[in-house]
Amino acid sequence: MYATQHAAEHPDQAALIMSPSGEVVTYRSYEQRANQIAHLLRRLGLRRGDHIAVLDRNTPAMLLVEAAAGRTGLYYTLVNAHLNPDEMTYIVDNCQAKAFFAGASLSQVAQVVAERCPRLGHKVVIGIDPADPAPSGGWESLDALVAGLPTTPIDDEQLGATMHYSSGTTGRPKGILRPPPEMSPVDSLTTVAFRQQLFGFRKGMTYLNPAPLYHSAPEVAVSTALRTGGTVVVMEHFEPEQWLALVERHRVTHCYLVPTMFHRLLALPVEVRSRYDVSSLESVFHSAAPCPAPVKRAMIEWLGPIVNESYAATEAYGFTHCTSREWLAHPGTVGRAVRGEIVIRDEAGHECPAGVDGTIWFRGATNFEYFGDPDKTRASRDEDGRTSTVGDVGHVDEGGRLYLTDRKSYLIITGGVNVYPAEAENLLATHPAVADVAVIGVPHEDMGEEVKAVVQVAPGRVPDPALADELIAFCRERLAHFKCPRSVDFVDELPRLATGKLYKRALRDRYWEGHATPIG
């Protein structure tokens, strides 16, 4: 989020354009306000290595608080605005935040969280007029606090870092700490070179962000785009036709999407999609969740061979990269490693040959640790400490390309047989009656678990027993029967995070209440 150089070179260029509000923040304004907030952080007594928490939706104020923390040596944790108060409280308390910044639109839930976190030293509401009263309970207005503070850099600029939390889709979210190098932000420009190359970012680019900024991939992409001197168009929330209109209006060159956004874009009538000029796009990047092969193929056919993919995790323990052309030649792959070396291991810790599924490890991984949890940190490492895993399962082919099978924690064990649900999920997602689907294991008296599909039906389809039978038969015609759902439930909407990740823990908990779950 550091953009001092670009503010000096082209101060009147738009750094941020918000949509649909239309608010524009120039590089000059961005730099001046970030510096004012940095001075405030020092006045609040915050020093290198201290933590702050930020709770907001996609707003310029959220990005400016990040920018200030990133030049004062702080760790900043971005709290998912879609969590419930208990989940938010856990994160704000667990990260040991000394200051809590909350958007005005979330002030009510922020007050509840703050009351449960007695260690908080400062509570600051962002995005309200300085003349308006801040919420009660010791909250102060950010605009009022920074009024009159210098717009020039602080004397002791130091590189800070995000401390993201894992999505918590299978258990308690974990704080992921990666200590930043001891250097000033000015000297840290080389640290973004890898990300610029990975995303294909360049000077003069226009990046469109449709995703929640609290999530690691969008936050990293926006930060990199600003360090590159591009203009960032931020969607305050994703809407598929608005996305098309913004690409055309701003001649967008780069964008990050998640597969659920692919689904929603492809669901638009062809005449709507063809109404907009998207020829300016140079690269559409995706990650975060598995993408069914037919969906990805349709996106490539529509946009051209500019749909690129990466596999990583919030832990940034390794990266792969895959272009459209490589994927078309090797459907299903997420590419070769571009950081770290892929190692596939079986349950005994032995390396698996090509084509054999096992736990995915990366050797030469980044030095992350789970904040305040040395046991989880040790469990993610091998004995030499240089190879780490987050528990995903997959295999490599003879060319070193990685293919994902599923998360180990999603494994269904039915009658002693291991079933990874992603295979059935990806198949069912291709059925015209299915808008969204999750496959989970549910309690079964004899088998231990039974494979169940939970389906959100497409508009115009009736969720009845006949459709359930049709979906089960559709799977049994194409997969080994033990991998197929034995039953289908229908829901109005599946619990997905705004990042597109399925909140599978919440879904499974509905079925496992009163039972001992066999998997974490």
Residue 505 near residue 266, CB atoms below 8 Å: no
Tens of pLDDT along 101-138? 999 999 999 999 999 998 899 999 998 766 666 677 88
Q: For the chain, count helices (H), then strands (E).
A: 17, 27
pLDDT of residue 256: 93
Tens of pLDDT along 131-156? 666 677 889 999 999 999 999 999 99
Residue 56 near residue 102, CB atoms below 8 Å: yes
What percent of the chain lies above the pLDDT cut of 90?
61
Residue 146 near residue 78, CB atoms below 8 Å: no
| Least reliable range by pLDDT among 31-40, 273-282, 353-362 | 353-362
Alpha-carbon distance 392 to 320, whole Å?
A: 14
Of 108, 177, 220, whose CA–CA distance to 315 is shortest? 177
Tens of pLDDT along 427-475? 998 899 999 999 999 988 777 789 999 999 999 999 999 999 999 999 9
Alpha-carbon distance 410 to 328, whole Å?
A: 28
Amino acid in the structure at residue 461: R
Query: Is the peptide bond preceding residue 20 cis, with omega within 30 degrees of 0?
Result: yes
User: Per-residue pLDDT for 386 more than 90?
Assistant: no
User: Per-residue pLDDT for 94 more than 90?
Assistant: yes
Q: What is the 3-state secondary structure (H, E, C) of 319-363?
A: EEEECHHHHHHCCCEEEEEEECEEEEECCCCCECCCCCCEEEEEE
pLDDT of residue 519: 45
The whole-chain average pLDDT of the chain stands at 89
pLDDT of residue 470: 96
| Least reliable range by pLDDT among 151-160, 389-398, 510-519 | 510-519
pLDDT of residue 520: 42
420 or 355, greater pLDDT: 355
Of 419, 481, 489, whose CA–CA distance to 453 is shortest? 489
Q: Is 48 helix (H, G, I), strand (E, B) or coil?
A: coil
Q: In the structure encoding, which two tokens stand for residue 21, read together?
A: 């509000």
Tell how strand 231-235 and strand 392-396 pair up.
Answer: unpaired
pLDDT of residue 491: 95
Residue 322 near residue 310, CB atoms below 8 Å: yes
User: Per-residue pLDDT for 206 more than 50?
Assistant: yes
| Least reliable range by pLDDT among 60-69, 76-85, 162-171, 425-434 | 162-171
Q: What is the mean pLDDT of residues 271-287?
A: 96
| Least reliable range by pLDDT among 108-117, 166-175, 223-232, 449-458 | 166-175
pLDDT of residue 183: 76
Residue 242 confidence class, pLDDT cut points 50, 70, 90: very high
Number of Cβ within a 10 Å radius of residue 25: 20
Alpha-carbon distance 4 to 212, whole Å?
A: 25
Phi, psi at 439, each rounded to 5°? -115, 125
* Secondary structure element (H or E) that encloses residue 31, with its range: helix 27-43
Domains recognised in the chain with CATH numbers: 411-512 (3.30.300.30)
| Least reliable range by pLDDT among 99-113, 162-176, 294-308 | 162-176
Alpha-carbon distance 516 to 510, whole Å?
A: 13
pLDDT of residue 58: 94
Of 439, 190, 499, 184, whose CA–CA distance to 314 is shortest? 499
pLDDT of residue 291: 80
Alpha-carbon distance 468 to 71, whole Å?
A: 55
As beta bridge partners, residue 212 has none
Q: How does DSSP assign 70-110, residue by residue? A: TTBT-EEEEEPTTS-HHHHHHHHHHTT-SEEEEEGGGHHHH
User: Per-residue pLDDT for 34 more than 90?
Assistant: yes
Alpha-carbon distance 80 to 448, whole Å?
A: 34
Residue 367 to residues 11, 127, 140, 362, 370, Cα–Cα distance (Å): 36, 35, 36, 12, 10
User: Per-residue pLDDT for 192 more than 50?
Assistant: yes
Q: What is the mean pLDDT of residues 372-381?
A: 88
What is the distance, to the nearest Å, from the Cα of residue 34 to the centroid of all Cα atoms in its chain?
A: 24
Tell how strand 358-363 and strand 387-388 pair up.
Answer: antiparallel
Number of Cβ within a 10 Å radius of residue 140: 14
Tell how strand 51-55 and strand 75-79 pair up.
Answer: parallel
Q: What is the mean pLDDT of residues 234-242?
A: 95
Q: In the structure encoding, which two tokens stand for residue 227, read together?
A: 């360090």
